[in-house]
Amino acid sequence: MRLPPILLASLSLPLVALAPSASADGVSWYGYEAGLQLAASQNKSVLIDFYADWCGPCRRMDEETYADERVVEKSECFVCVRVNGDERPDLLSHYGVDAYPTTLFLNASGIEVHRVVGFRDAEGFLLDMEKGLAGLPCVVGGEPREQSTWPLAILLFAVIAVPVAALIGLRLRARAGGRAGGR
């Protein structure tokens, strides 16, 4: 059975809508709706870049930060979404964005885990990307990618060392208070 060309074209539209836009900087950018849909289906974190065409720091992010090969490589850990704020004021309002550039990092459930306002060089942005992963593994092509374990170390310190130190401090205060009150 041979399908008419118009039917073939209409069947391929959903695939085109989910395809990332090719960019000279190497980061694969998706539109907002397609990106969030893809992130949900792949259980992946989301990076949303809010920009404006007239924004100088936004252009600098494109030319320097998003062009850095380390940032391009790390961007594979996310579904990267670009939103022109002048065209999507509804999203500016929804996310409380009031300056450009603003980069949001969302977990796969759509909850914001980190926010960056203003220009960041590649070094700083790589640290922000680590924070944006919120300690979760970076999964590319179904395979976990090796990443820094420092977020896990910080989490372990916060969960174990801080409460233990607090308990020790309470015991020392209780002992000191008991001695002072008994005299």
Q: Which residues are catalytic?
A: 55, 58
Q: How far apart are CA 37 and CA 172, in angstroms?
A: 53
Contacts of 40 (CB under 8 A, 6+ apart): 108, 110
* DSSP calls for 20-74: PBP-TTS--EE-HHHHHHHHHHHT-EEEEEEE-TT-HHHHHIIIIITTSHHHHHH
Q: How far apart are CA 102 and CA 146, in angstroms?
A: 27
